[in-house]
Amino acid sequence: MSSIFKLLSPDCTPELNSLQRDSLLQNKEYIIPGGDTLETTKYELEIDEDKQYLIYNNYFTTGQQGFLTYEVRKFKKTDGSWLIVLSGYGGMKRAFDQLQVIAYKFQSNRLIKINEQVLPEKIDINIFLKANTPDSISKKIASCSSCSYYFSPDLENAIVYRMFPECVGQEFEQYLLGDAVLFSWTGETFKQEKIIHSE
Protein backbone atom coordinates (compact mmCIF):
# COMPACT_ATOMS: atom_id res chain seq x y z
CA MET A 1 0.00 0.00 0.00
CA SER A 2 2.95 2.32 0.55
CA SER A 3 3.87 1.97 -3.13
CA ILE A 4 0.25 2.67 -4.13
CA PHE A 5 0.28 5.85 -2.04
CA LYS A 6 3.37 7.07 -3.90
CA LEU A 7 1.64 6.51 -7.23
CA LEU A 8 -1.51 8.52 -6.44
CA SER A 9 -1.98 11.64 -8.54
CA PRO A 10 -0.99 14.99 -6.96
CA ASP A 11 -4.61 16.14 -6.70
CA CYS A 12 -5.19 13.27 -4.23
CA THR A 13 -2.62 14.77 -1.83
CA PRO A 14 -3.32 18.52 -1.93
CA GLU A 15 -0.36 20.74 -0.97
CA LEU A 16 2.11 17.84 -0.83
CA ASN A 17 5.03 17.47 -3.23
CA SER A 18 6.82 14.13 -3.68
CA LEU A 19 9.35 14.80 -0.89
CA GLN A 20 6.61 15.79 1.54
CA ARG A 21 4.64 12.70 0.57
CA ASP A 22 7.72 10.59 1.38
CA SER A 23 7.99 12.33 4.76
CA LEU A 24 4.34 11.54 5.49
CA LEU A 25 4.94 7.89 4.58
CA GLN A 26 7.93 7.68 6.89
CA ASN A 27 6.57 9.59 9.89
CA LYS A 28 2.81 8.98 9.44
CA GLU A 29 2.15 12.70 9.96
CA TYR A 30 3.21 15.91 8.28
CA ILE A 31 2.44 19.58 9.00
CA ILE A 32 2.31 21.81 5.93
CA PRO A 33 5.00 24.53 6.34
CA GLY A 34 3.97 28.17 6.69
CA GLY A 35 1.00 27.68 9.00
CA ASP A 36 -0.01 30.14 11.70
CA THR A 37 -2.54 30.46 14.51
CA LEU A 38 -5.32 31.05 11.98
CA GLU A 39 -4.52 28.26 9.55
CA THR A 40 -2.22 25.29 10.03
CA THR A 41 -2.80 22.14 8.00
CA LYS A 42 -1.72 18.65 9.03
CA TYR A 43 -1.73 15.25 7.36
CA GLU A 44 -2.02 11.94 9.20
CA LEU A 45 -1.60 8.55 7.54
CA GLU A 46 -2.42 4.96 8.57
CA ILE A 47 -1.53 1.90 6.51
CA ASP A 48 -2.56 -1.72 6.97
CA GLU A 49 -0.49 -3.71 4.48
CA ASP A 50 -2.05 -7.04 5.52
CA LYS A 51 -5.57 -5.84 4.78
CA GLN A 52 -4.56 -3.83 1.69
CA TYR A 53 -5.91 -0.59 3.14
CA LEU A 54 -4.77 2.95 3.84
CA ILE A 55 -6.40 6.13 5.11
CA TYR A 56 -5.05 9.63 5.32
CA ASN A 57 -6.56 12.84 6.66
CA ASN A 58 -5.82 16.45 5.81
CA TYR A 59 -7.24 18.87 8.38
CA PHE A 60 -6.74 22.22 10.08
CA THR A 61 -5.10 22.06 13.50
CA THR A 62 -5.88 25.74 14.17
CA GLY A 63 -8.63 28.09 13.12
CA GLN A 64 -10.91 26.36 10.65
CA GLN A 65 -12.60 23.00 11.18
CA GLY A 66 -12.46 21.72 7.60
CA PHE A 67 -11.04 18.32 6.65
CA LEU A 68 -10.43 15.95 3.74
CA THR A 69 -10.22 12.18 4.19
CA TYR A 70 -9.01 9.71 1.60
CA GLU A 71 -9.32 5.94 1.86
CA VAL A 72 -7.74 3.43 -0.51
CA ARG A 73 -8.33 -0.33 -0.73
CA LYS A 74 -7.19 -3.09 -3.02
CA PHE A 75 -9.66 -5.73 -4.21
CA LYS A 76 -8.46 -8.90 -5.91
CA LYS A 77 -10.08 -9.75 -9.23
CA THR A 78 -10.92 -13.25 -10.41
CA ASP A 79 -8.05 -13.11 -12.91
CA GLY A 80 -5.56 -12.42 -10.09
CA SER A 81 -5.06 -8.74 -10.88
CA TRP A 82 -5.96 -5.92 -8.49
CA LEU A 83 -8.61 -3.21 -8.52
CA ILE A 84 -7.60 -0.17 -6.47
CA VAL A 85 -10.40 2.11 -5.27
CA LEU A 86 -9.93 5.57 -3.79
CA SER A 87 -12.66 7.46 -1.94
CA GLY A 88 -12.40 11.11 -0.96
CA TYR A 89 -14.81 12.97 1.29
CA GLY A 90 -14.65 16.14 3.31
CA GLY A 91 -16.10 19.39 4.50
CA MET A 92 -16.82 20.28 8.10
CA LYS A 93 -17.15 17.79 10.94
CA ARG A 94 -20.93 18.17 11.06
CA ALA A 95 -21.51 18.69 7.33
CA PHE A 96 -19.41 16.78 4.83
CA ASP A 97 -19.90 15.16 1.45
CA GLN A 98 -18.57 12.38 -0.72
CA LEU A 99 -16.30 14.18 -3.19
CA GLN A 100 -14.95 11.46 -5.44
CA VAL A 101 -14.66 7.74 -6.03
CA ILE A 102 -11.89 6.69 -8.41
CA ALA A 103 -10.95 3.19 -9.53
CA TYR A 104 -7.59 2.15 -10.94
CA LYS A 105 -5.98 -0.95 -12.30
CA PHE A 106 -2.41 -1.64 -11.25
CA GLN A 107 -0.25 -2.45 -14.23
CA SER A 108 3.52 -2.25 -14.83
CA ASN A 109 3.98 -0.40 -11.51
CA ARG A 110 1.51 2.27 -12.61
CA LEU A 111 -2.00 3.23 -11.56
CA ILE A 112 -4.22 3.44 -14.62
CA LYS A 113 -7.53 5.17 -14.05
CA ILE A 114 -10.62 3.22 -15.03
CA ASN A 115 -13.12 5.41 -16.84
CA GLU A 116 -16.16 3.26 -16.02
CA GLN A 117 -17.85 4.03 -12.71
CA VAL A 118 -17.37 1.07 -10.35
CA LEU A 119 -19.39 2.65 -7.52
CA PRO A 120 -21.98 5.43 -7.55
CA GLU A 121 -20.34 8.66 -6.41
CA LYS A 122 -23.43 9.68 -4.47
CA ILE A 123 -26.54 7.80 -3.45
CA ASP A 124 -30.01 9.27 -2.96
CA ILE A 125 -30.75 9.64 0.76
CA ASN A 126 -34.17 8.03 0.21
CA ILE A 127 -32.49 4.63 -0.07
CA PHE A 128 -32.21 4.70 3.74
CA LEU A 129 -35.88 5.57 4.28
CA LYS A 130 -39.03 3.46 4.42
CA ALA A 131 -41.45 3.67 1.50
CA ASN A 132 -44.12 5.57 3.48
CA THR A 133 -41.80 8.41 4.54
CA PRO A 134 -43.46 11.81 3.92
CA ASP A 135 -41.56 14.19 1.63
CA SER A 136 -41.27 16.73 4.45
CA ILE A 137 -39.51 14.16 6.65
CA SER A 138 -37.28 13.02 3.79
CA LYS A 139 -36.20 16.61 3.11
CA LYS A 140 -35.55 17.25 6.80
CA ILE A 141 -33.35 14.16 7.11
CA ALA A 142 -31.52 14.96 3.85
CA SER A 143 -30.84 18.54 4.98
CA CYS A 144 -29.04 17.48 8.13
CA SER A 145 -27.27 14.29 7.02
CA SER A 146 -23.76 13.73 5.72
CA CYS A 147 -22.94 10.68 3.61
CA SER A 148 -19.71 8.97 2.57
CA TYR A 149 -18.16 5.64 1.75
CA TYR A 150 -16.44 3.76 4.55
CA PHE A 151 -13.67 1.42 3.43
CA SER A 152 -13.29 -0.44 6.70
CA PRO A 153 -10.57 -3.09 6.41
CA ASP A 154 -12.64 -5.23 8.78
CA LEU A 155 -15.27 -5.69 6.07
CA GLU A 156 -13.88 -8.53 3.98
CA ASN A 157 -14.52 -7.98 0.27
CA ALA A 158 -17.08 -5.28 1.00
CA ILE A 159 -17.47 -1.58 1.70
CA VAL A 160 -20.37 0.52 2.95
CA TYR A 161 -21.91 3.85 2.07
CA ARG A 162 -22.98 5.46 5.33
CA MET A 163 -25.41 8.18 6.34
CA PHE A 164 -24.54 10.32 9.37
CA PRO A 165 -27.70 12.18 10.46
CA GLU A 166 -26.86 15.10 12.74
CA CYS A 167 -30.39 16.15 13.68
CA VAL A 168 -32.41 12.97 13.43
CA GLY A 169 -34.03 12.44 16.79
CA GLN A 170 -36.25 9.64 18.00
CA GLU A 171 -39.22 11.06 16.14
CA PHE A 172 -37.47 10.30 12.81
CA GLU A 173 -36.04 6.87 13.66
CA GLN A 174 -39.30 5.17 12.71
CA TYR A 175 -38.67 6.16 9.09
CA LEU A 176 -35.14 4.75 8.83
CA LEU A 177 -34.41 1.35 7.33
CA GLY A 178 -30.79 1.69 8.43
CA ASP A 179 -27.83 4.01 8.06
CA ALA A 180 -25.58 2.09 5.66
CA VAL A 181 -25.81 0.27 2.35
CA LEU A 182 -23.44 -2.62 1.81
CA PHE A 183 -21.54 -3.17 -1.45
CA SER A 184 -19.96 -6.60 -1.80
CA TRP A 185 -17.06 -7.31 -4.14
CA THR A 186 -17.75 -10.25 -6.47
CA GLY A 187 -14.29 -10.43 -8.00
CA GLU A 188 -15.44 -8.38 -10.98
CA THR A 189 -17.92 -5.77 -9.74
CA PHE A 190 -19.42 -4.26 -6.61
CA LYS A 191 -22.91 -5.56 -5.94
CA GLN A 192 -25.30 -3.41 -3.95
CA GLU A 193 -26.73 -5.38 -1.03
CA LYS A 194 -29.16 -4.67 1.78
CA ILE A 195 -29.54 -1.62 3.99
CA ILE A 196 -27.97 -2.28 7.38
CA HIS A 197 -27.42 -0.63 10.74
CA SER A 198 -23.73 0.20 11.19
CA GLU A 199 -22.02 -0.30 14.51
Rounded Cα distance, 186 and 158, in Å: 9
169 pLDDT band, cuts 50/70/90, is low
> What tens digit of pLDDT does each residue of 48-84 get?
999 999 999 999 887 778 899 999 999 999 999 999 9
Q: pTM for this one?
A: 0.90
Rounded Cα distance, 62 and 57, in Å: 15
Predicted local distance difference test score (pLDDT) of residue 177: 92
> What tens digit of pLDDT does each residue of 9-37 get?
988 998 899 899 999 999 999 999 887 76
E strands, the chain, where?
A: 29-31, 39-48, 53-63, 67-76, 82-92, 95-107, 110-113, 145-150, 158-165, 180-185, 190-196
